[in-house]
Structure 1
Amino acid sequence: MFDLTTLFLLMCALGAGAWFWHAQGIRERALAAVVRHCRQEGVELLDDTVAFARFGLERDLRGRRRLGRRYRFEFTVTGERRHHGEVVMFGPRVGGIRLDAYAVETSPEAQQDLNKEAVREPGKVVMLDQWRRERS
């Protein structure tokens, strides 16, 4: 019925299937983390997906090297340009999310208000976060 070779091949196939299923679960967790992060940053995740980039040694928040998966994704601020981002996963835990630098678009009215304040008080540094809180 079953010899050792058949049993070994069956176990290898089951192991590969389990590893693939586990990897898909990690990818889904990475996608959920990226969706939350993009919502917090006020950017739009494009294609609603993350793509596996590599599996290898990655640095965690403490600077130690650990085995991790790196996924890449794209996002947009204005809908015109695509920007890249990466998420590192250490098993089911998020190791970090990095977004490429992007320009923050402001409305023409907000830009005029900012210019008026700069003319009124020359040399004053305007903190963008404080300015946004005052205007919202």
Structure 2
Amino acid sequence: MGKLLFILGAVLLAYVWWRSQQIKDKAYQAVLNRCYESDVELLDGSIALIKQGPTKDKLGNWHWFRHFQFEFTSTREHRYKGLITMAGFHVVDIELEPFHIN
């Protein structure tokens, strides 16, 4: 019985990790699209998970939110921060700090 619980736990952890990677990949693609639309460059080619957890949305429904931070540049001289919020596989919001325009 103990071995079965161990295997089920390992499978569950692998599934949670796999799903988290899929969500991060979707967030990364959304950030790339926003950077392209805003004519800025994503720096370091990555996003970083900074916060996650259950939170109520505007309608009072519970969702598991993930907040990823990234950096971008518009002039290649200054770094600016951005934040993307995901609820599952859905992009809730992408925020870019105010930046200089060439």
TM-score relative to the length of structure 1: 0.69
**Identity over the aligned pairs, expressed in percent?**
31
* 1:16 has 2:13 as partner: yes
* 1:26 has 2:49 as partner: no
CA RMSD in angstroms comes to 1.6
* 1:46 has 2:81 as partner: no
Which residue of the other structure, out of 49, 64, 68, is the alignment partner of 2:65? 68
Larger Rg: 1
Structure (1 or 2) with the greater helix fraction: 1
Instruction: Determine which structure has greater relative contact order: mean sequence separation of CA pairs < 8 Å that are 6+ residues apart, divided by chain length.
Output: 2
Residues of 2 paired with 1:13 and 1:67: CA distance?
Answer: 21
CA drift of 1:66 comes to 3.1
Secondary structure of the corresponding residue to residue 76 of structure 2:
coil
- Kept in 1: contact 2:82–2:97 (CA 8 A): yes
Cα distance change of structure 1 residues 72 and 63 upon mapping to structure 2, 3 Å threshold: farther
CA drift of 1:59 comes to 6.1
Residues of 2 paired with 1:20 and 1:63: CA distance?
Answer: 28
How many residue pairs match? The answer is 101
Counterpart amino acid of residue 76 in structure 2: G
**Cross-structure match for 1:125:** none
Q: Deviations over 1:105-130 (max 9, x none)?
A: 3xxxxxxxxxxxxxxxxxxxxxxxxx
TM-score relative to the length of structure 2: 0.90
* 1:99 has 2:86 as partner: no
Counterpart amino acid of residue 31 in structure 1: Y
Residues of 2 paired with 1:38 and 1:59: CA distance?
Answer: 28
Cα distance change of structure 1 residues 63 and 77 upon mapping to structure 2, 3 Å threshold: farther
Gap runs ≥5 in structure 2: none
Residues of 1 paired with 2:50 and 2:5: CA distance?
Answer: 31
CA drift of 1:101 comes to 1.3
